[in-house]
Structure 1
Amino acid sequence: MPSALAFVLLVLNISLLKGQSPPGKPEIHKCRSPDKETFTCWWNPGTDGGLPTNYSLTYSKEGEKTTYECPDYKTSGPNSCFFSKQYTSIWKIYIITVNATNQMGSSSSDPLYVDVTYIVEPESRNLTLEVKQLKDKKTYLWVKWSPPTITDVKTGWFTMEYEIRLKPEEAEEWEIHFTGHQTQFKVFDLYPGQKYLVQTRCKPDHGYWSRWSQESSVEMPNDFTLKDTTVWIIVAILSAVICLIMVWAVALKGYSMMTCIFPPVPGPKIKGFDTHLLETGSPSKYKVDLYLALPGGFQKLDNAGELDY
C-alpha cells in the first residue's frame, strides 16, 4: 500500500509539473425556448487542464429519479444541447448539470432549474420601414413588424410586448422605444439626409426579452425633395421664357426699354397758350408772362400788340 500510494503521488507530481490537471468547473450560460415547444441550453467550459476534455449535459425532471443525457449536441452548435418537441415538457422543472471529464479527473457545474414556460424568448418577424409624410409635409418613420409564430400567441395563452431601437448609422448609442402590445410605431423628428438602423425585440408576459432582430436600414429624405426641386426648376424656366418673349416683342416694335419704362411727359394743356413762344424766346415772351400774371383775367390786345390797361 505505501508503495502504491507513493506511485500515485509520483504520477500526480509529474502531471502537475507538465501543467496537467483535472478540468475546471463549467458554467451553464443560458437556456432559451423560441416557441415553448423546443429549447436549447448553452454552457461555458472551464479550463481543460492541459488534456483533452469531454463535456456532457445531464438532466432529470422534478419528481423523477431517472437521469437523462442531452439528446442533441449538434443542432445548436458547440457547447450546447438542443431539446426537440419529443423531449420538451411545459410546467415541468428540469434540473440540468454540465459535466467535464479528462484523464486527471472531472468536475460539474452548479445545477440549473429550468421551467420551459419561463425561458421563452420568441422573435418578431418581417421588420419593415417606410418613410411617410403628413399633410404639412412633415416626415416620419413608420416601423412595422409581425408577431412571432407561436401557437400560444395566436390562441391567446400569453401576450407579447415589444421594443424597437434605432440610431443614425455612424452613432454609437441606440434610442429605445417601448411599444407595448402594438406591432407598429411612428418615429418623428429624425434628421433629414441621415441613414438610420432599426431593430426590434419582444417578450412574453412572463419571460425574457428576445435577442434584437437583424438590422434594417432606411435613409430619411432631405427637406427639399426631388419633386420640390423639379417644380422650382420648371417655374424658373417658364419665368425666363416669358421675360425673353417680352423683350423680343418690345424690340420688334422699335421701342427702347427706357421708353417702355419711362414714357414721355405730355406737354401743357393751357387753352390759348402758344408753346412756340417758349421755343423761339422772342420779346413777346415777356408780354405773355405778364399777360398771364394779371389778376382778375385779361383784356384784348390792341393792334400794336400792346396790353390795354
Structure 2
Amino acid sequence: MKENMPSALAFIFLFLNISLLNGQSPPGKPEIHKCRSPDKETFTCWWNPGTDGGLPTNYSLTYSKEGEKTTHECPDYKTSGPNSCFFSKQYTSIWKIYVITVNATNQMGSSASDPLYVDVTYIVEPEPPRNLTLEVKQLKDKKTYLWIKWSPPTITDVKTGWFTMEYEIRLKSEEADEWETHFTGQQTHFKVFDLYPGQKYFVQTRCKPDHGYWSRWGQENSIEIPNDFTLKNTTVWIIVAVLSAVICLIMVWAVVLKGYSMMTCIFPPVPGPKIKGFDTHLLELDWLSKQTEGGSAPDPSWTIP
C-alpha cells in the first residue's frame, strides 16, 4: 500500500501538468449579478459565470434563510432563462434575509461566488406603468397644456396599500437632444405647459415602490401640438384691430371729403326758432304807426332786430 502511494501521487501530478498544458483548470469565480422581485411575491436571481477552465462546468445556486440552518438548492433554473434561479410564491418570504451563493464545478475543481444577502422587500423593481395616453387641452384662459395620464403596472397591488408607488415622466420634442424629467409623486396624471406649437413630443413613464428600484422606462408615446391652439385667440384680436382701424379711416375720409370740421361734426349748430307765416316787416310797420300816434318821432337808427 505504501509502495503504491508515490506512484499515485506521481500520476496525479502528471495529470495536473497535462491538464494545465492543455489549458484546463478549475472554474473561475462566478458573480451574482442581480436579484429582482416585480411584486414582493416572487423573485429571480441572475449570475455571471466565471471562466469554465476549458471543461464542462456545472452551476448551482444554494440559499439559506435567516434563522435556519438548512441549505436549499434553487427550485427553478428554467423560468427566468440561462444563469438564473426563479423563486415562486411557494419559496418567497418577505421580511426574511436570504443568503445566496452560486457554485461552479468541473473536473478540475470548484469555486463559489461571494454570498449575497437579499431581503425581498428591498429588491422590488416593478414593471413600467401602462396605458399611457396623451391629449392637448386648454384652460379657461385659452392657455395650452399637455395632459398625460397612465395606469399602475398590472401585477402591482396598489389599491390595498400593499404597494405605495411613485412615478416619473420624461418628455422631449422631436428637435431636442435631452429629456425633460418630472417627478409626479403618487399621481397617475400630469400637466405640462410651455409647449412649442407645431412640434412633436415624445413621452415615457416609469415607477418605483416605497422600497426598491425604478422600473425601466415604459413604451414611448408621441403627440403633435397643433398650431391653431395658440394662434386662434391671437388671430381673432388681430382681425378685430384691423377692422377697427379700417372703420376709423373710412370715417375720417368721409369727414374730409365733405369739408366739415371735426368740431362741426361733433357739435353741430342749434337752429333758431322759426314760426311759419310770421313776417317781421309787418311787425316793424305796426310799431312805427304806434310811435307816430303817440307824438314822438322814431329814432332813425333803430331797427327791428
Deviates more, 1:108-117 or 1:142-151: 142-151
1:161 alignment counterpart: 166
Deviates more, 1:243-252 or 1:114-123: 243-252
Secondary structure of 1:190's counterpart equals coil
Secondary structure of 2:98's counterpart equals strand
1:306 alignment counterpart: 303
Shift of residue 197, structure 1, vs aligned partner: 2.5
Shift of residue 221, structure 1, vs aligned partner: 2.7
After superposition, the C-alpha distances for 1:17-43 in whole angstroms (9 at most, x for unaligned) are 222222211111111111111111111
Matched-pair contact (CA < 8 Å) for 2:170–2:204? yes
Matched-pair contact (CA < 8 Å) for 2:144–2:230? no
After superposition, the C-alpha distances for 1:177-216 in whole angstroms (9 at most, x for unaligned) are 1111111111222333333332211112222222222222
Distance 1:95 1:305, change over 3 A: closer
Q: Distance in 2 between matches of 1:102 and 1:262?
A: 115
Structure 2's unaligned 5+ residue stretches are: 285-298
Shift of residue 133, structure 1, vs aligned partner: 2.8
Deviates more, 1:207-216 or 1:146-155: 146-155
Deviates more, 1:51-60 or 1:137-146: 137-146
Distance 1:131 1:159, change over 3 A: same
Q: Distance in 2 between matches of 1:47 and 1:275?
A: 136
Shift of residue 255, structure 1, vs aligned partner: 27
Distance 1:269 1:21, change over 3 A: farther
Q: Distance in 2 between matches of 1:58 and 1:73?
A: 12
Deviates more, 1:166-175 or 1:253-262: 253-262
Shift of residue 106, structure 1, vs aligned partner: 1.4
Deviates more, 1:191-200 or 1:82-91: 191-200
Matched-pair contact (CA < 8 Å) for 2:133–2:150? yes
1:152 corresponds to which of 154, 157, 164: 157
Q: Distance in 1 between matches of 2:240 and 2:87?
A: 68
Shift of residue 13, structure 1, vs aligned partner: 2.0
1:257 alignment counterpart: 262
Aligned positions of 1:232-247 closer than 5 A: none
Distance 1:217 1:11, change over 3 A: farther
Q: Distance in 1 between matches of 2:158 and 2:134?
A: 24
Structure 1's unaligned 5+ residue stretches are: 280-301
Shift of residue 101, structure 1, vs aligned partner: 1.6
Q: Distance in 1 between matches of 2:30 and 2:282?
A: 126
Shift of residue 99, structure 1, vs aligned partner: 1.2
Shift of residue 145, structure 1, vs aligned partner: 1.2
With normalisation by structure 1, the TM-score equals 0.68
Q: Distance in 2 between matches of 1:206 and 1:157?
A: 11
After superposition, the C-alpha distances for 1:38-61 in whole angstroms (9 at most, x for unaligned) are 111111111222222221111111
